Amino acid sequence: MRINLLFFATVCVGVAIAPNAEAQRAKCADFAFQEEAQVFMQTRGANYLDRDNDGVACERLPRRGTPKSKPSPPPAVRSPRTEAPSDRQSQFVVLSVGDGDTLKVQASPTNMTVRLACVDAPERAQAPWGQAASERLKQILPIGQVVQLREVDRDRYGRTVAEVWVNGQSINLQMVQEGMAVIYPKYFHNCAATQGQYRQAEAIAKQQGIGIWNPNNPLLTMPWQFRSASLGLFGDRFSYVVYANRGNIAAVGTHQTGG
């Protein structure tokens, strides 16, 4: 008799706890809509689906008739600056122009020499293009012209290497477009945001035979190659030019290679 009663009690307890065990296996992720989770909680006693004990199961699930919320898009990644800087601190006044890729601007506390970034213009000794590039830059940047700078580096001579802008126009790019300068491969990474524009500008200038790409009188030696040859012959920073007349030294001068 005792054995039968024990067996009966065991079966009743098993029947009573079986739904609970099934309910414990359910999660909010198992339901498509909140209403389904609500019914399951109420019929199976799965109160654990109501985490804040407000009587509502799986509140984050969508309701019937309401589309499931879409995942939030990833935060926008800012692209590198492709336009001239707009703050007043980047504005300077042109004092003078040297060769085709160098100028001096008014700055505080001292004036500043600027080297055009990512491009290279012919040296003055590379006639006629060195002088032509210098004259063209003087036309574009007359004394008193307000320019904006995006500094990218300082070179070994202490010059500020920068992209120069006037009214939203990149002067560096303009010099390449007009065949007065070329892309400077060694430092081209400093203009990562606009490399495509520079390459396109140089390709068009070559195709049209503009400036140094003139097929009748092209620039035969790239500026950095010209400087390298000069440095190899005459020293690191200064080239010593000796004019001889019948074996006698007539004059000695110095010339700083711009870079």
Stretch 57-68: mean pLDDT, rounded? Answer: 71
Q: Peptide bond before 109: cis, by omega within 30 degrees of 0? A: yes
Catalytic residue (one of 78, 123, 163, 246) = 123
Does the structure show a pLDDT above 60 at 254?
A: no
Instruction: Pick the range with the lowest mean pLDDT from 9-23, 54-68, 187-201.
Output: 9-23
Given a cut of 80, whether residue 222 has pLDDT beyond it is yes
Neighbour-count burial of 118, counting CB atoms closer than 10 A to its CB (0-12 exposed, 13-18 middle, 19+ buried): buried
- Residue-wise pLDDT for 8-47, tens only, equals 444 444 444 444 455 456 888 888 887 887 788 888 777 8
Considering only residues 42 and 161, tell me which one the structure prediction assigns the higher pLDDT: 161
Q: Taking the model in full, what pTM does it have?
A: 0.58
Dist CA 100 CA 227 (whole Å) = 14
Taking the C-alpha atoms of residue 166 and residue 82, their distance in angstroms, rounded to an integer, is 14
Question: Catalytic residue among 115, 136, 150, 227, which?
Answer: 115
The backbone region for 245, taken as left when phi is positive above 0, alpha when psi lies in -120 to 50, beta otherwise, is beta
Banded pLDDT at 256 (limits 50, 70, 90): very low
For residue 86, pLDDT over 80 is answered with: no
Half-sphere exposure of 8 (CA within 13 A, CB side): 5
Verify whether residue 159 is a known catalytic residue.
yes
Residue 62: pLDDT over 60: yes
Task: Pick the more confident residue, 105 or 239.
Answer: 105
Structure token digits, residue 157: 């001579």
Is 246 a known active-site residue? no
Find the angle CA(155)-CA(156)-CA(160) to the nearest 5 degrees: 30
- pLDDT higher for 122 or 242? 122
* Residue scoring higher pLDDT (189 or 48): 189
Q: Given the structure tokens 């495509």, which residue do they identify?
A: 196
Measured distance CA(202)–CA(208) in Å, rounded: 10
- Give me the amino acid identity at 106: Q
Active-site annotation holder among 35, 151, 159, 178? 159
pLDDT of residue 204 exceeding 50: yes
Q: What is the pLDDT of residue 258?
A: 55
Strand partners, 120: 182
Kindly indicate the confidence band of residue 80, based on its pLDDT and cuts at 50, 70 and 90: very low
Q: How confident is the model at residue 188 (pLDDT cuts 50, 70, 90)?
A: very high
Over pLDDT 90: what percentage of the chain? 49
Listed by start position, the domains of the chain span 2-49, 88-218
pLDDT grade for 54, boundaries at 50, 70 and 90: confident
pLDDT at 68 over 70: no
Domain 88-218 CATH class label: mainly beta
Predicted confidence at residue 65, as pLDDT, reads 60
> Residue 123 and residue 100: Cα distance in Å, rounded?
8
Query: What's the pLDDT score for residue 56?
Result: 83
